Amino acid sequence: MKMRKKSELPVKTCAHCLLPFTWRKKWERDWDQVKYCSERCRRGGKHGAPD
């Protein structure tokens, strides 16, 4: 991937916290499968799950 400005990077919405997050280099190979912005959200499961 060529160098881009941060504002030009792809953005997704986290499936847990519903906040937007941007592309990261470590997600380069599997960006299509990334659903969560962090490990904490990934462990939290789907949005609206009982606490």
Q: Is residue 25 part of a domain?
A: yes
Distance CA 47, CA 6 (A): 27
Burial (CB count within 10 angstroms: exposed 0-12, middle 13-18, buried 19+), residue 42: middle
Q: For residues 20 and 13, is the Cβ–Cβ distance under 8 A? A: yes
State how many domains the chain has.
Answer: 1
Q: Is residue 14 part of a domain?
A: yes
Q: Which pLDDT tens digits describe the chain residue by residue (51 residues)?
A: 577 787 889 999 999 999 999 999 999 999 999 999 999 999 986 655 444
Q: Is residue 23 part of a domain?
A: yes
Give me the domain span that covers residue 14: 9-44
Task: Check the CA dihedral 32-43-49-47 and report its sign.
Answer: negative
Q: For residues 47 and 16, is the Cβ–Cβ distance under 8 A? A: yes
Q: Is residue 37 part of a domain?
A: yes
Predicted confidence at residue 38, as pLDDT, reads: 94
pTM of the model as a whole: 0.71
